[in-house]
Amino acid sequence: MSIKRNLFLLTVMTAVCCGLSGCAAGECIPMAGVPYCDSEIRNGSFRSGVTLRAAGREVADAVCVDSYGSLVYDLGGMADSFSAEAGIDEEAYRDEVRLDIIVDRKLKESIRFTREAPRRRISVPLAGARQLELSVQYGPDYRAQTLCFAEAYFRVRDRAAFQEHLVRCRNRADMARELPPGPLPPLPAWKEVKVEPFVWRERPALRIGNGVLEYEIVPSFGGRLVGFRRAGGENVLEQPRHPLPADLRRGRSYYRQHTRFARSEPAWYFLPGEDLHLFGPYELRFGEEGECILISRPSLFLLLRTEYRFRLRPGGDRLEVTTILHNLGDFSRPCGIWSVAVLPTESIDKLELPGSTRHSDAPAEAAQYWINDGNSAFLRVADIPFDRLESVERKSPGPRQTIRAHLVSGDVLAVEAAPEEHGAEFPNHVYAARQFTELEHHSAIAELPSGGKITLRELWTLRTKGDDNVKEKSDRRQTYFNRSGREE
């Protein structure tokens, strides 16, 4: 396979790598011959062993990755450095691309490749490092663009030991995905909170309700919260628009645009994402009455474990949603939580954020559609010109961390982060597209020590006219507990 002429001028890294006197202390191993531990790449976007034709000669064993794509190498402290000539093809230019170099979950360098600056020699010191991630991100136009690594080498002390270590890590990552979900545990004998098994998209799920509110979880599908409603009412969360494939080990972007889940931040953590946490099975445990605990398998990509705790107290009118990220690395690292609740856009009348004089809108034109009213800012969905704008997005700061979706049905969904969770630069974030709208909360960024954790606790309410009527609430609870099993 070859890439178009004039990709970029290649330097003879083999001579540089192996001809210097310092090479006696180590060995060079081509990137194309090194198995990555884990990855998030779209089908066909990763090509290894490519032969590049440039400057009238051919160079073998190049590696190409399209945006967005990410390769993670578990180094085990066995590599001294990584070097490559990285660049994009000027003749096939579609968009700029950004390369994020992440070592031990810390961003070391972020490099933009543009038409004016299409190539760059990179050299990454890795002595003692446990992990390297090469993350290829979209440019401003979100068009797939190929980034190539030519004459790319790891310098290591023991080539055979390094390759054996990486093979073991790759096999361990694959085995983690191949393990089937475990069986659901016996249902708890709670007195005032009812648990009903049902089937969601051909997957075993649970519906938990207290006669006022209900929530639904699917342990085998990324630990998702897939349902939230008033007792006996309509689910307010967006549901998948595509059939779920049997194998979700390599997710597609549109599988993420529904229900409720969480990602990790800073930004270089959540794109491309962690498919094991987004789509893999979680262990289910039951806590106090009305509490379900979902625990992910360990991520060998992000070196994190995700834990969700959902609590609906007897007779309570709010759902407590707690996300916890555990640092599994043997090093400290920055980490935050990005909570995402997805609603069908057609179900929303208007969105409400805390008022602020400082915010970030995308695109800039979107600012004019927000109406400031005292301490709040409103956006009416009917006012968004989706014929011109693909989406409207706003990030808003402020001491209050609350987002409200006023629904066409007359209900108001409020998602509020607990006061102790404040501290994010933009704690409130909404993204409205034609088909779906995301209500997002950001936590502060914490420096997690090895074994440390960060927590984001949210309170979800769903209110409508008459919710303060005690008799109506009591009748609704009685109807709920008299109801036999339901079919989805």
Topology of domain 2-178 in CATH is: Jelly Rolls (2.60.120)
CB-neighbour burial class of residue 164 (10 A; exposed 0-12, middle 13-18, buried 19+): exposed
pLDDT class of 70 with cuts at 50, 70, 90: confident
Q: CA–CA separation, 335 vs 18, rounded Å?
A: 38
Mean pLDDT of 272-288: 84
Enter the DSSP assignment of 232. Answer: T
Per-residue pLDDT tens digits for 394-416 = 988 877 889 999 999 999 999 99
Q: Is residue 373 predicted with pLDDT exceeding 80?
A: yes
Cis peptide leading into 344, omega within 30 of 0?
no
Burial 207-221 (b: 16+ CB within 10 A, else e): bbbbbbbbbbbbbbb
Count CA atoms within 13 Å of residue 395 on its CB side: 11
In this chain, the answer to whether the domains covering 2-178 and 194-482 adopt an identical fold is no
Question: What's residue 422's pLDDT?
Answer: 64
Rg of the chain over Cα atoms, rounded to whole angstroms, equals: 25
pTM given for the model: 0.85
For the chain, domain boundaries: 2-178, 194-482
Q: Retrieve residue 392's tokens.
A: 């409207």
User: What average pLDDT is seen over the chain?
Assistant: 83
Lowest mean pLDDT among 27-31, 61-65, 251-255, 286-290: 251-255
Dihedral sign (CA 239, 240, 246, 249) = negative
In CATH, what is the architecture of 194-482? Distorted Sandwich (2.70)
